[in-house]
Amino acid sequence: MKQTTVIRLKKVELDRPVLIEGLPGVGHVGKLVADHIVAELKAEKIMEIYSPHLPPQVLVQGDGTIRLVRNEVYAYRAKNGRDMLIIVGDHQSVTNEGHYELCGVFLDIAEEFGVERIYTIGGYGVGQLVETDSVLGACTGKEFVDELSGYGVEFRENEPGGGIVGISGVLLGLAKLRGIEAACLMGITSGYLVDPKSAQSVLKVLCKIFGLDLNMQALQDRAAEMEKIVAKLREMEQGQQPYESTTSEDDLRYIG
């Protein structure tokens, strides 16, 4: 395989869908959000995308079967409300050029379905444990900024200072060049841990935007577990106490 390859599993008709992208990144916020939407909306997988720019790796599933790492496109046909395309996956590109190439492939798909708006989801790592449900935004155009401000998305001057790196950034940038409106929603997170709480904050904003009423139990459960771990980490930090054996190995499986 020398080229990025799109395998089409199913043909669907969608009415001017929005595209939501959530691949693994800072705090896994994007992946948590997009996976949750796919699960709750029972969206249907319509494409698999394989690429030599993804890691050379297969994943081993619970039943002993494998699958090559990939990105996937899911389709959701709304009864009332917005149709959606959702991009999820195991990894982002591991090469510099791969980010540009894969975003080009995603945008070709978006244009094929007449997508007019793209939402990319990520985490904004601030380097310390934080208690906030702020969601930071960045958009291709000023009206989109104003519109999202109305949903509580924050736009802070010079943040993120380093720009947005990786798929969520490049997809915005290349969408702008093709005249497609796009926004990145970033949950604020420490950047050290998988952060289902930050994912919830972003998801709430998306639900408001699309008038969706999604069950958040799964994310809440994971967030509750992470909070216990975070509480312990804080204790250890403050008391400089040695690692306590009461934190079971099981809890820690959620870190990283």
Task: Candidates 13, 131, 157, 213: give the one binding its own copies (CB under 8 A).
Answer: 157
> How far is the CA of 52 from the CAs of 3, 66, 97, in angstroms?
7, 18, 11
Q: With CB under 8 A as the contact rule, which of the stretches 27-35, 125-133, 168-176, 205-213 interacts with its own copies? A: 168-176
Q: Can you tell me the distance from the alpha carbon of 195 to that of 160, in angstroms, rounded to the nearest whole number?
A: 18
- Binding to its own copies by CB under 8 A, coded x per residue (else -) over 33-72, reads -----------------x-xx-xxxxxx-xxxxxxxx---
Per rule CB under 8 A, is residue 96 in the interface with its own copies? Answer: yes
Task: Candidates 20, 26, 174, 202: give the one binding its own copies (CB under 8 A).
Answer: 174
Among 48, 94, 104, which residue's Cα sits nearest to residue 71?
A: 48
Element (H, E) at 86: strand 84-89
Per rule CB under 8 A, is residue 137 in the interface with its own copies? Answer: yes
Task: Candidates 12, 41, 130, 165: give the one binding its own copies (CB under 8 A).
Answer: 165
Supply 51's token pair: 């690429």
Q: Can you tell me the distance from the alpha carbon of 167 to that of 20, in angstroms, rounded to the nearest whole number?
A: 12
Task: Candidates 33, 87, 103, 115: give the one binding its own copies (CB under 8 A).
Answer: 103
Q: Assess contact for 70 and 93: CB atoms under 8 A.
A: no
Compute the least distance from the CB of residue 215 to its own copies, in Å.
26
Per rule CB under 8 A, is residue 95 in the interface with its own copies? Answer: yes
Task: Candidates 43, 118, 164, 202: give the one binding its own copies (CB under 8 A).
Answer: 164
Q: With CB under 8 A as the contact rule, which of the stretches 9-17, 156-164, 206-214, 241-249 interacts with its own copies? A: 156-164
Q: Which of residues 184-213 bind its own copies (CB under 8 A)?
A: 184
Number of residues that bind its own copies (CB under 8 A): 56
Per rule CB under 8 A, is residue 252 in the interface with its own copies? Answer: no
Q: Assess contact for 171 and 120: CB atoms under 8 A.
A: yes
Among 148, 153, 184, 180, which residue's Cα sits nearest to residue 166?
A: 184
User: Long-range contacts of range 227-232, CB-CB < 8 Å, 24 or more positions apart?
Assistant: 227/197, 229/193, 229/254, 229/255, 230/129, 230/193
Q: What is the DSSP letter of 61?
A: P
Supply 5's token pair: 């390859």
Q: Can you tell me the distance from the alpha carbon of 97 to that of 101, in angstroms, rounded to the nearest whole number?
A: 6
SS3 call for 121: strand
Per rule CB under 8 A, is residue 88 in the interface with its own copies? Answer: no
Q: With CB under 8 A as the contact rule, which of the stretches 1-9, 30-38, 204-212, 216-224 interacts with its own copies? A: 1-9
The residues of the shown chain that bind its own copies, judged by CB under 8 A, are: 1-2, 7, 50, 52-53, 55-60, 62-69, 93-97, 99-101, 103-104, 137-142, 145, 155, 157-160, 162-167, 169-170, 172-174, 176-177, 184
